[in-house]
Structure 1
Amino acid sequence: MHQSDVVIVGAGMQGATMALAAARAGLRPLVVERGKVGSGATGNSYGIIHGGLRYLQSLSVGRWRRSRQAQAWFLDNYPDHVRPLACAMPLYRHTLRSPMAFRAASAIESCLYRGTGLSRRLPRLQLLGAEEIARAYPLPRRDLAGAALWHDLVADDMETLLRKILADAGASGAALMEDTEAGELIVADNRVVGLNVTHADGSMEEIATPRVAICAGSWSSRWPQEPQAATAATLAFNLVLEIPFPGDAALAVSETPGKGRSYFLRPLEGGTFAGTYYRPAPGAREPNVTPADIAAFLEVLDRALPGYGIAEAGVRAVMPGLLPDTDGTGRTLSAADTISTPGPAGLSQVLGSKLTTAPLLSMDAARRLWPQEARRAA
């Protein structure tokens, strides 16, 4: 029988960083993953670790600050696994995405850096001219006023990054169970004392542990003892297209120039990585993408970049996931991070809304869930 101080269910970014936070709190984690490391929404994500520039549109200073802190965490802890990614957004006259709006955002960000004491780790935002951005990308030209160029981080190999985080947490070898499904809790006197798991070969095993932390994202609501009825009813997916990308910087475009949802494209192994498309998927148990979904996304991208030939591009890969939503309808993504502890003592759930800030949420959760262990480790 395996024994562990804490079992982490899920080996995406939330689970991996939760295992690391547990290890830094003085606990020995064991990670249980129903598939392979990073096989869910994390591994199929666009890989962007964004700096929260988008939040300045609504003056959400707290979310901007937390995103910048999260970027610094990745740069400080895993500099060999993330890199700066230039991102360009075309700007249009008579829209909110205009040079004036981005000049204001840049000025606000500079004030925030000074006021919060955070250090700038990536180049500051720049504005490009209309002719410069039009030469690089086949954009709609009407009312084109230029482009904003900023830098975020990207993890090109998410699985390798996750395995490095897990190794740093001591969650490798026998302490990492892939292709293993978490099952019923073992409870005595209303306290967790163990967890039943089922391996890929059908064999079952009991793990002795006083703590179980569910960090399984969309799968959490289907676990037998989910501590919170979290819903994951939004299907999200990215595509890898068989068409060379025309530039070096990632490009943010929208179906209507300067308005609406942004979609990002960047080069990937001779093709184009495009994302992210969302649609409601109430009641979905797996992230199943239909041919109609793919066709709808390609139509959107073709309207956003009419001269790029996306309508005729082949699809090399489809990368799907289910994301937490607000009410089970899948119409609105959840922006809330949750740390919940209902049920028997020792059971918790950590559900993050953003890959970027998962490490910070994990550290917050460890301090809240295991304060005595953290004090002893310190």
Structure 2
Amino acid sequence: MQHLDLVVIGAGINGVGVAQFARAAGYSVLLLDRGKVGGQTSANSSKLIHGGLRYLESMQLDLVRKSLKARRDLLRLAPELVRPVPFYIPIYRHSRRSAFTIGAGLSLYGLLSEFDPLGRFQRVPKLEWAKFKGLRQDSLHTVFQYWDAQTDDARLTRAVAASARELGALVQEDTEVTAIRHSAAGCELELNCHGETISVAASAVVNAAGPWVNELLHRVQPPAPSERLQWVQGAHLLLDIPAFDGIFYLESCFDKRVVFVMPWYGKTLIGTTETPIDSLTSEPQVTAAEQAYLLGIFRHYFPDAGSESELAQKIVARFCGVRVLPRVASDAFDAPRDTLIHTSHSHPRLLSLYGGKLTTFRDSAAEVLDWVHGRLGARTELADPDKLMLHPAPECHWDDLCVQTR
């Protein structure tokens, strides 16, 4: 039976980040996914590397500060994958958030960015509003412009996985964990790898299965405790409309939420929603209500774009990711978005990750690495993650485990 220091289950952005950091620290690592690397939630986000301006409303200041630093780091480490983009916030006389409120929020956003050049913002002069082709102009009071960043989430995830693999991590797709037997000394995992049953031993296991985090915990013996969670679906529509020069940050005309209208490979991407769902028994699908919601907001701000039925004809893709949020009494819009790291005294060799943001995956990886170090002790460091550049990964088959065990 092959023995490793660490097995990471789930090759979304959190899992690949943990694998990269742990392998750079010298631990032997196996990264598993029952589907493809970056094939689920990490391929269906809003494609943003951002501080989370709206999180200031719920006073998640530490999360915003951490996210802005993470944005700065990713712009440095992955310049081919993460790029700065201008964001525009139009304020109307009837907007829930006044120009004063938005201006104050952007000032705080800039302060939390620790004087990063991307922390600056401005009011766009009225003489320049005509450049926003199609944007509703009546009752338009103020337009703010600030900076954040955009990425191809799936490509970024694969780039981090490729970095971990280059350091020597094993990466295995299409492999399901069917059982985990936990003991004080470590874990034994039973895997279904392309129809073949394989057993692997590990000194520690990280459960980064995303929306399926509790489903995986149900396969642990003895039974492992879990956190209460809620699944929230975020829907997106890709329209065959020429992309705008920048991203619009738009207050919903239906509720207090905000949505983004973004350029995406020459077309226009609209997202996202926050729809609670009760199960993951089938592939998440954009609902008729979500489509009407997103198209309604788009038509409100771009009234000449056409009727809802005309816009529906221009939809070339629909997708939605499922976010994991703590189960709270408040609306999902206000729920905390930071990663929850769950451990228990009864299962000292197992750690589970709940939720988190695409932007802050490296912070989550660093926290998990501290836990691994505390459990396993130090190894000879192979590389500094803060100096590992990320490049677009070539298309390849991630099949390292099966190759070694045949």
TM-score, normalised to structure 2, is 0.81
How far apart, CA to CA, are the structure 2 residues paired with 1:310 and 1:172? 52
What is the CA–CA distance in structure 2 between the aligned matches of 1:151 and 1:256, rounded to whole Å?
Answer: 24
| Residue 213 of structure 1: how far off its partner (Å) | 0.2
- Structure 1 residue corresponding to 2:118, chosen from 107, 122, 128: 122
* Partner of residue 306, structure 2: 309
Moved more, 320-329 or 213-222: 320-329
Contact 1:36 1:179 in 2 (8 A): yes
Q: Equivalent residue for 1:167? A: 162
Question: 1: distance between equivalents of 2:227 and 2:302?
Answer: 40
Which residue identity lines up with residue 243 of structure 1 in the other structure?
I
- SS of the aligned residue for 1:80 comes to coil
Q: Is the CA contact 1:14–1:352 (under 8 Å) kept in the aligned structure 2?
A: no
Report the equivalent of 1:363: 366
Structure 2 unaligned residues grouped into runs of 5+: 382-406
Cα gap change, 1:230 to 1:355, in 2 (>3 Å):
farther
What SS does structure 2 have at the residue aligned with 1:88? strand
Give the deviation of 1:329 after TM superposition. Answer: 8.8
Match of 1:252 in 2: 249
- Matched with 1:196 is 190
- Residue 233 (structure 1) aligned to one of 221, 231, 249: 231
1:341 equivalent in alignment to 2:343: yes
Shift of 1:106: 4.0
The RMSD of aligned alpha carbons is 2.8
Correspondence for 1:206: 199
Mean Cα deviation higher: 336-345 or 263-272: 336-345
Q: Do the aligned partners of 2:342 and 2:352 also contact (CA within 8 Å) in 1?
A: yes
Number of the residue aligned with 2:100: 100
CA 336–307 in structure 1, closer or farther in 2 if over 3 Å, else same:
same
Q: How far did 1:227 drift?
A: 4.8
- 1:141–1:260 distance in 2 versus 1, CA, 3 Å: farther
Do the aligned partners of residues 195 and 227 (structure 1) sit closer, same or farther apart at CA in structure 2, a change above 3 Å counting? Answer: farther
Greater shift in the superposed pair: 333-342 or 16-25: 333-342
Change (3 A) 1:274 1:106: closer
Alpha-carbon contact 1:87-1:149 (below 8 Å) kept: yes
1:25 alignment counterpart: 25
Q: Which residue of 1 aligns with 2:400?
A: none
Taking a change above 3 Å as real, the CA distance of residues 134 and 324 of structure 1, as seen in their structure-2 partners, is: farther
CA distance in 2, matches of 1:359, 1:243: 34
Uncovered stretches (5+) of structure 1, i.e. residues with no partner: none
- Residue 268 (structure 2) aligns with: 272
Separation (CA, whole Å) in 2 of partners of 1:119 and 1:377? 36
Distance 1:340 1:370 in 2: 16
Distance 2:284 2:111 in 1: 44
**Structure 2 letter corresponding to 1:203:** E
Go from structure 1 to structure 2 and tell me whether the alpha carbon gap of 1:155 and 1:230 turns closer, same or farther (over 3 Å shift). Answer: farther
How far, CA to CA, are the matches of 1:174 and 1:168 in structure 2?
A: 9
Q: Tell me if the contact between 2:238 and 2:267 (Cα under 8 Å) persists in the aligned partners.
A: yes
Q: SS at the partner of 2:274? A: strand
TM-score (normalised: structure 1): 0.87
Q: Following TM superposition, by how much is the alpha carbon of 1:195 offset from its aligned partner in structure 2, in angstroms?
A: 1.0
The equivalent position to 1:185 in structure 2, one of 173, 180, 187, is 180
Structure 2 vs 1, CA of residues 108 and 280 (structure 1 numbering), >3 Å: closer, same or farther? closer
Aligned length: 369
Picking from 347, 351, 376, the partner of 2:354 is: 351
Look up the equivalent residue of 1:228 and give its one-letter code: S
Query: How much has 1:119 moved relative to structure 2?
Result: 4.6
Moved runs in structure 1, 4+ residues, more than 6 A?
171-174
CA deviation map 1:326-346 (0-9, x unaligned): 328995244242111224331
Residues in 2 aligned to 1:61 and 1:145: alpha-carbon distance in whole angstroms: 28
- The AA in structure 1 aligned to 2:369 is A
